[in-house]
Structure 1
Amino acid sequence: MTKFTFPQQMKLVEALPPAADAAGRSSDIVSLKNAGKAYVKVHLAQGNAATVALAIMQATDVAGTGAKPLANAVPIWANLDTSLTDTLIRRSDAVSYTTDAAVKNKQVIFEVDPAQLDLANGFDCIYLTTGASNAANITQAEFILVDLRYQQSTPPSAIIN
């Protein structure tokens, strides 16, 4: 049995540091050229009864060249009240997700298979955008890259091409 070691077999990249989401934000951009799959984990501390729109975008490089929304729906899970349960509920596959307006702490996870990107036109990078909401709504996100092509003590960076 192979011993699992998170830092050597997965890449964790901060997408959005915790901050108010009044005007909406765009995360850092990661390349998926060395990953078999990416999970985008979003944590929301919703302090105001205003929904928060989340969308996954794709680009041809980590500078954001040619940025556009995903064309193919991806699996999404959400826990709309983390104070009550640790259970993620499968939602409808989509390219975006909008939270409900309940004032709760929430988690949303997108599963992105790089093969679903516009590979024919050179798209191999993704990022997260949040829509305008309310200053009392705090968002934070991270990328979890799995099935790395190069599992080693220090996997290659995902934030450079």
Structure 2
Amino acid sequence: MCCIPEKDKPLEAITPQAGGAITGVYVTLRDAEDCYVLVHINQAVATAVDITIEQATDVEGTGSKVITTAVPIWADQDCASSDALLRQPDAVAFTTSATLAHKLVVFQINPSHLDVTNGFDCITVKTAASDPTNITAAQYILSDLRFGGSTPPTDITD
């Protein structure tokens, strides 16, 4: 295995959409060593955006609940002026600044961060309601796939 998507599989989590409360696609982490959740926000109105990661027991969202183990987070609060992803304190959620800017927030989720004892192996990304003119999109990057290859197995069905 040499390249995306054979080793690191990108998946759409949230299609670009206006800033209501948004729930992304649920994805299983059973075949990945890590999952990076990349959230893009084009903030047109000065309203902070709350981002959370939830866990579930299947890709239908059964038993969905907020993760309880703090995870690594990076953020670029103004992509137009810098490409620096600044390390944030580990947390279970992130709130952007209210500054008008294009933002990128990255969460690193290891499957061990989930409630594996109770069968939780799926995640979703959620944003709380924001101003309708703020546009949000997100993707997952499943890394170090256990079963890669030219056509990796699906991760949006159980």
CA distance in 2, matches of 1:71, 1:110: 14
1:82 to 2:82 alignment: no
1:122 and 2:119 matched:
yes
Give deviations 1:29-84, integer Å, cap 9, x for gaps.
00000010000000010000000000000000000000000010000000000011
Q: Classify the secondary structure of the residue corresponding to 2:32.
A: coil
Q: Which runs of 4+ in 1 moved over 6 A?
A: none
Give me the whole-angstrom Cα distance separating, in 1, the residues matched to 2:50 and 2:119.
Answer: 27
Distance 1:7 1:36 in 2: 15
**Alignment partner, residue 68 of structure 2:** 71
Amino acid at match of 1:12: P
Deviation of 1:116 (Å): 1.1
State the match for 2:136 in structure 1. Answer: 139
Provide the rounded CA distance (Å) in 1 between the counterparts of 2:60 and 2:148: 25
Aligned residue runs from structure 1 range 1-161, under 5 A: 4-21=2-19, 23-161=20-158
Instruction: Quote the Cα distance in structure 1 between the aligned partners of 2:49 and 2:113.
Output: 25
Q: 2: CA distance between counterparts of 1:88 and 1:41? A: 11
Give the root-mean-square deviation of aligned CA atoms. Answer: 0.8
Q: In the TM superposition, what is the alpha-carbon distance from 1:7 to its structure 2 partner?
A: 1.3
1:144 and 1:19 map into 2 onto residues whose CA distance is 20
Identical counterparts, % of pairs: 45
- Give the Cα separation in 2 of the matches to 1:85 and 1:107: 11
Q: What's the TM-score once normalised by structure 2's chain length? A: 0.98
Deviations 1:80-128 (A, max 9, x none): 0001111100001001000000000000000000011000000000000
- Displacement after TM superposition at 1:4 (Å): 2.6
2:6 alignment partner, SS class: helix
Which ranges in structure 1 are unaligned for 5 or more consecutive residues?
none
Tell me which amino acid in the other structure corresponds to 2:149: Q
Gaps of 5+ in 2: none
Query: What is the aligned residue count?
Result: 158
TM-score (norm 1): 0.96
- The separation in 1 between residues aligned to 2:81 and 2:23, in whole angstroms, is 29
Shift of 1:11: 1.1
Amino acid at match of 1:31: T
